Amino acid sequence: GAGVSQSPSNKVTEKGKDVELRCDPISGHTALYWYRQSLGQGLEFLIYFQGNSAPDKSGLPSDRFSAERTGGSVSTLTIQRTQQEDSAVYLCASSQTGGAGNTIYFGEGSWLTVV
Amino acid sequence: DQQVKQNSPSLSVQEGRISILNCDYTNSMFDYFLWYKKYPAEGPTFLISISSIKDKNEDGRFTVFLNKSAKHLSLHIVPSQPGDSAVYFCAASAVGAQKLVFGQGTRLTINP
């Protein structure tokens, strides 16, 4: 498809397990973002990748969270030892280039429930 | 530290009338503002944006107004339609920054 693709769309996991969420950005987009939205909250920035530059990890809430982007395209967000407060929808987005003034386009999200 | 605030969690408007969604920000370095619309179980979709060099931008039924001195922006939808029922997020980015900072969202309900 032409949009941002995320998988899985839904994931239920037991507390303490690790999860991986995948994002396929729009073809040709060099910037990739991860956000999350907890119940009743706004969109919280997690991490940003731009080309070959070092990622901006300033939004990652703890060292249990990590992300990588291979080959400048697909990205994986990993949450280790999941906790119930990690339950949220994790949204990936991409933009043609990074920086201010660029519209970012979101995927449909990966809904994570930690039980 | 909530740099972008949408103080109304919900808004209900009659079909055909004007919907006005408000957003306040605190960071004077923000220079680009956007509105996103989100339906349940979908990702946010871009609606309209405005640069700080402007005070108004219009796209069909949607108009965004920016008041820099008050650090306030608003989204006007006129006339409102049932399909406009969604959660609306305002977002801002600062000069030289890569990430968008989002507000908490306002749930708009258009009543027939």
A90 at the B interface (CB within 8 A)?
Answer: no
Q: What is the pLDDT of residues B47-84, one digit of tens each?
A: 999 999 999 999 999 999 999 999 999 999 999 999 99
The SS3 of residue B111 is strand
Q: Which residues of A touch B45 (CB under 8 A)?
A: 105-106
- What is the rounded CA–CA span in Å between residue B33 and residue B64? 9
pLDDT in the model for residue A115: 96
Q: What is the pLDDT of residues B26-36, one digit of tens each?
A: 999 999 999 99
Q: Is the pLDDT of residue A1 over 60?
A: no
A41 at the B interface (CB within 8 A)?
Answer: yes
Residues 6+ apart with CB under 8 A from A62: none
Mean pLDDT of the A24-52 span: 91
Mean pLDDT of the B91-111 span: 89
Residues of B with CB under 8 A from a CB of A: 4, 6, 31-32, 34, 36, 41-46, 49, 51, 89, 91, 93-105
Q: Which residue has the higher pLDDT, A29 or B95?
A: A29
Closest residue in A to B88 (Cα) is A42
Facing residue for B46 by CB, picked from A44, A48, A103: A103
pLDDT in the model for residue A98: 64
pLDDT in the model for residue B23: 97
